Amino acid sequence: MQRLLIRQCLESEGMRILEAQDGHEALDLVANNNPDFVFMDVDMPGISGIETCRHLRARVESEDTPILIVTGADDQETIDLGFEAGATHYITKPLNWPLLGRLVKYMLRSADTYKELKSKEDHLRYLAYFDHLTDLPNRRSFTEQLRRNLVNSEKNEGQTGLIMIDIDHFKRINDSIGHERGDLVLKKIASRLQTCAAEIGPIASEYPGAKKTYPLDAFALEIARPGGDEFSVIVRNPYGEEQLNQIAEHLIDCLSEPIQIPGHTLVITPSIGIAMAPDHGRAPEELLVRADSAAYAAKAEGRQRARMYDSSIAYDSAQELSIEEGLRHSLLTTGLSLVYQPQVDLFTGAIIGAEALVRWEDEQGNAISPDRFIPVAERSGLINELGDWILNRVNADAKAYAGQLPSKMSLAINLSPLQFNQSNFVERLTSTLKQLEIQYKIALELTESAIMNSGDDSIGKLHQLRNLGFKLAIDDFGTGYSSLNYLRQFPLNTLKIDRTFVNDLGSESGNAIVNAIVSMAQALGLDLVAEGVETAEQATYLRERGCYSIQGYLISKPVPIDELARLCQHDFRATVGLDSEDG
Ligand code: C2E
Ligand code: CA
Ligand code: CA
């Protein structure tokens, strides 16, 4: 009778009612219908209302469903039990019919508000701890991850690896393709990192020795995006530095695969810094600073590489400023000079070209390697002035030695990617070279990544340069991302085989790489120059495989222009392993 009244009362408020005879049936009904509201008497046949309440609350789906219980008038004890079991509210018998409908409505409304609040809170938590572009944990979570891991590894006397990944030239990518597409690129990078980390897990746990020291599941990778174009990977319980290096290499490979976004195919490259606790620090801040400065060093060493922190790195960054100041000063005075390294034809033994290489002596008279100061010049923006200085110097040397070098000879100039990527680069180059009237061919040496990272207009620039009569060479070929499809698009003349590969000749893998490069060059119809050739055996091998010019200490170190002119008189056939009667 009472149920019928309740039904009528609530239906008149526009609610749909399901009725159960007892507690068991009530639980079934709830399970099948997920109602918005539960209303029950504590006195029920079978399991009690209190017990039913408890069961309901144990279900995830009815965790927040308002439950209204009906008790006897002065039954304090049951009311308390009801609340403990999870009831939301109670009313006592006899029921106040006019009030019941309103009470239920009020309870429903506050349940909605609660749900809304809760989802807002979830959202806030999400906003606070996740980066909404990539869905990766953000800087705040990253810091907490790192702190947690360091506490654990300290407790278990284990190690924690920190890998900081910085995307090379991301600002320029953003500037050239726009921020929206830049965001897309970041998203792709994030999902690639996740895939890659999933691949690394099983591989890394098979790392020899890993199981000896740690249980398998203790190894884990945690990825985050602490900021802009910066990503982090925390490696829980790495086996040691060597394993962290391997992981970093794997990450570089994954990330260097071309990225497709609508209208563009990009190749991005990462520079990676690694630090490991406790060896490089125990506090999160300390480890972070060290991994960051290792990433910085990786950039300085030419990008697209990983660098493990060591004590020399701290020293390097302290010196950076003094190098920059010294260099700036030398641009105005005389610390800079240019030397030339001859390139020889492996059939005629004649010098067919020379590469200009910059030299710098600081004010104390110390020779500083270009590998050292070029990156500083790039970071400080001095590279453009330095580049102009080099162009002018080549100009002056070529004019002064007009007629004294073989007329078909080419002079090669190294270009920093930063120079090439300037929007007015071609104008800047031609305005310097307009006054050149050089009788020799000028070859421009660029690295693969310089071309590939400079966006869609790089092909146009290269065509412009070709039309202006420049030769184009890819420097350090094989160390960057080499894809036939990419190279085919570029109007190139020459590939320069990196000296590390030449150095490896004689070993199976060294030979294989050089053979692969030779067939690639043949497929693309490009000339080859091998760098860093130091022995006649290397020269002979290269000639037999199909690489016909070389550069390296076997012929000569880089020398001043007057010395180069003298070397040009020389016949290098015997030097490169040919009988003088041959050829
Ligand atoms: P790179 O363009 O690959 O230059 C070749 C480097 O290999 C030169 O080092 C050269 O001295 C060295 N080398 C030549 N033959 C041999 C050999 O047989 N064995 C060995 N072990 N090394 C050899 P360098 O002059 O110290 O230049 C280092 C790098 O600095 C260059 O690498 C280039 O990336 C950069 N660089 C040098 N001059 C310039 C410049 O004028 N402009 C720009 N943008 N970069 C430059
Ligand atoms: Ca070069
Ligand atoms: Ca090179």
Please tell me the residue having the least CA distance from ligand 1 atom 12: 532
Q: In a structure prediction context, what are the per-residue pLDDT tens digits for the chain, which is 583 residues long?
A: 567 777 887 888 888 899 988 889 999 999 999 899 999 888 888 888 899 999 998 888 888 899 999 888 677 888 888 888 989 888 888 888 778 888 888 888 888 877 776 776 676 677 778 888 999 998 888 988 899 999 988 888 899 999 999 998 888 888 888 889 999 999 999 999 999 988 886 665 555 544 444 444 567 889 999 988 999 999 998 889 999 999 999 999 999 999 998 888 888 999 999 999 999 988 888 898 889 889 988 988 878 899 999 877 766 666 777 888 888 888 878 899 999 999 999 999 999 999 999 999 988 888 888 988 897 888 788 999 999 999 999 988 998 998 899 999 999 999 998 899 888 899 989 888 765 566 789 999 998 877 876 666 788 999 999 998 999 999 988 765 555 666 778 899 999 998 888 988 988 777 887 888 888 888 888 999 999 999 999 999 999 999 999 999 999 999 999 999 999 999 999 999 998 654 4
Closest by CA position to 261, among listed 173, 172, 136: 173
* DSSP-assigned states of every residue in 79-120: HHHHHHHT--EEEESSP-HHHHHHHHHHHHHHHHHHHHHHHH
Q: In what order do the strands lie in the sheet with 270-277?
A: 220-227, 230-236, 160-167, 270-277, 306-308
Strands 230-236 and 220-227: antiparallel
**Which of 531, 537, 572 best tests ligand 1's pocket when mutated (most atoms within 8 Å of CB)?**
531
- Give the angle 20-22-25 at the CA atoms, nearest 5°: 60
With a 6 A CB cut-off, is 388 part of the ligand 1 pocket?
A: no
Cα–Cα distance, 516 to 518 (Å, whole number): 5
Q: How large is the greatest C-alpha to C-alpha distance in the chain, in angstroms?
A: 123
Strand partners, 510: none
Ligand 3 centroid to Cα of residue 550, in Å, is 12
Proximal ligand: closest to the CA of 473: 2
Closest to 201 (Cα-Cα) out of 148, 253, 172, 237: 237
Angstrom distance (rounded) from CA 416 to CA 377: 10
3-class SS letters over 260-310 = EECCEEECCCEEEEEEEECCCCCCHHHHHHHHHHHHHHHHHCCCCCEEECC
Among the bound ligands, the one closest to the CA of 533: 1
Per the CB < 8 A criterion, the answer to whether 29 and 62 are in contact is no
Residue carrying the six token digits 């920093």:
416
532 Cβ below 6 A of ligand 1: yes
Helix (H) or strand (E) holding 336: strand 336-345
CA–CA separation, 73 vs 172, rounded Å?
A: 75
How far apart are the CA of 253 and the centre of ligand 2, in A?
A: 24
Domains assigned to the chain: 2-129 (3.40.50.2300), 139-309 (3.30.70.270), 318-567 (3.20.20.450)
What is the 8-class DSSP label of residue 453? T
> Buried b vs exposed e over 168-181: b needs ≥16 C-beta within 10 Å?
bbbeebbebbeeeb
Nearest ligand to the CA atom of 445: 2
Q: Which atom in ligand 1 lies closest to the alpha carbon of residue 445? A: 2
